[in-house]
Amino acid sequence: RFANLEAYASGEELVTQYHHDPSLSTDLRLQLGAGKAKMDLSNMTLQNLSVRSAFSDVFVTYRLPNKTDMKKMDIHATRANVFLENVEKAKAELVSVQNDMGETRLILGDGNVHKSTIYLQSGVGNCILVIDEKQPVMIVLKMGLFSKLDNQGNFEKLQNEKEVYVNKAYHENPQKVTKIICSLDLGDITLVKN
């Protein structure tokens, strides 16, 4: 353990590789301490992913889609930043991120349109949602008294709905909509069209 701490303090990079059997659906559980964890989960057969981080920034990216439909991706960070890139390629039914203190950034690309629910819960920190214009989304915001919205993507607020926003692709493909529920106590929510 001390060698790991010394390597982290000296700036050395520690790399761990996980090799899975592509013919088997897999559950992956990770417990992280401090530092950064950069995970490219492309082309895997993950059925469930669970990440618990104390002080380690979590980066999850996809270049290629998951080979099977994922049931749940669950990330909980105590005091760290969480970045999810091209998470639509996870083909997850549910993505749940709880970030107690730190920035949360979600990037939905123009990959496969997959109906899913993404729940982002942030205590203190900013939440940035970057959505490709081809991804049909409905964004439900639950903001605290000290939170504010910066709608840079000109997302349309639904009439008769409190803090519910959609993009143009939502109207074109409502049966494949990704529902994003973003709950923030203290910080800013930024919506960006990519």
pLDDT tens sequence across 131-182 = 999 999 999 999 988 889 999 988 999 887 789 999 999 998 888 899 999 9
Residue 53 has pLDDT above 90, yes or no: yes
HSE-up of residue 119 (Cα within 13 Å, Cβ side) = 9
The pTM of this model reads: 0.87
